[in-house]
Amino acid sequence: MRLILLGAPGAGKGTVAKLLTKMDGSVQISTGDILRAAVKAGTELGKKAEAAMTAGELVSDDLIMGIMGERLLEDDCKAGFLLDGFPRTIPQAEALKVLLEKLGIELDAAVNLNVPRDVILDRLTTRRTCTDCGAIYNVKSNPPKQEGVCDACGGSVVQRDDETEEAISKRLDVFNEQTAPLVGFYEGEGMLLDINATSSDVVVDAIKAKIGA
């Protein structure tokens, strides 16, 4: 399948993407994960992205399109892909449209995960992430067996720099201003699947029904 996953930070895009990749071998492409890996490795890309990320702001469209232009050409995308956290602005959505037309690739849908703001805030402030493998935990509903240690890889499980209350509030403002308009964009393209997304199972079932999987 080839999907765009839209939704606020904490709406469950990553969780849903992980469930969907198990169904048909599609690959999850998270621009946030790519950028965090670059920051950790101290690459040029990481140095350019770090300040904006920590402040909860968006990295430039040019930088993101440079990453995605290369990423979508990789072999593992042939089995399908789930775009998690991209596109994030109207210019990114327009550039993606041109890129996919050039590559002759059609998307199945742009899925919008609707989650109330209070649920989002609660999820983000209690979310913890493994710095090594990116596994996601929640201090209330899904803590690692040993505090601070990843069950999957033994890496350290921490609160992300951009998940302080101040950065979260900034990220939600940025989402409302720059990313929420994508819902209208994809509605206009006839591609929108809008879902009340408080449970990831409901989302996966709605997507399966839509694309006939």
Phi then psi for 134, rounded to 5 degrees? 85, 5
Specify whether 88 is catalytic.
yes
Specify whether 171 is catalytic.
yes
Q: Give whichever of 174 and 206 is closer to ligand AMP, judged by the CB atom.
A: 174
Residue 175 Cβ vs ligand AMP, minimum distance, rounded to whole Å: 9
Rule CB under 6 A: which residues touch ligand AMP?
A: 9, 31-32, 35, 52-53, 56-59, 64, 85-88, 92, 162, 171
Tell me the DSSP string of the chain.
-EEEEE--TTSSHHHHHHHHHHHH--EEEEHHHHHHHHHHHT-HHHHHHHHHHHHTPPPPHHHHHHHHHHHTTSGGGGG-EEEES---SHHHHHHHHHHHHHHT---SEEEEEE--HHHHHHHHHHEEEETTT--EEETTTB--SBTTB-TTT--BEE--GGGSHHHHHHHHHHIIIIITHHHHHHHHTT-EEEEE-SSHHHHHHHHHHHHT-
Specify whether 127 is catalytic.
yes
Look at the alpha carbons of 109, 87, 93, 195 in this order and tell me if their dihedral is positive or negative.
positive
Whole-angstrom distance, CA of residue 201 vs CA of residue 40 = 32
Q: Give whichever of 46 and 143 is closer to ligand AMP, judged by the CB atom.
A: 46
Exactly one of 36, 123, 128, 171 is catalytic; name it: 171
Specify whether 102 is catalytic.
no
Residue 133 Cβ vs ligand AMP, minimum distance, rounded to whole Å: 15
Residue 156 Cβ vs ligand AMP, minimum distance, rounded to whole Å: 18
Q: Give whichever of 14 and 80 is closer to ligand AMP, judged by the CB atom.
A: 14
Exactly one of 36, 123, 127, 128 is catalytic; name it: 127
Q: Give whichever of 12 and 87 is closer to ligand AMP, judged by the CB atom.
A: 87
Exactly one of 13, 36, 123, 128 is catalytic; name it: 13
Q: Give whichever of 171 and 195 is closer to ligand AMP, judged by the CB atom.
A: 171
Residue 170 Cβ vs ligand AMP, minimum distance, rounded to whole Å: 9
Exactly one of 2, 160, 170, 210 is catalytic; name it: 160
- Chain-centroid distance, C-alpha 27: 12
Specify whether 117 is catalytic.
no
Residue 98 Cβ vs ligand AMP, minimum distance, rounded to whole Å: 16
Query: Active-site residues: which are they?
Result: 13, 88, 127, 160, 171
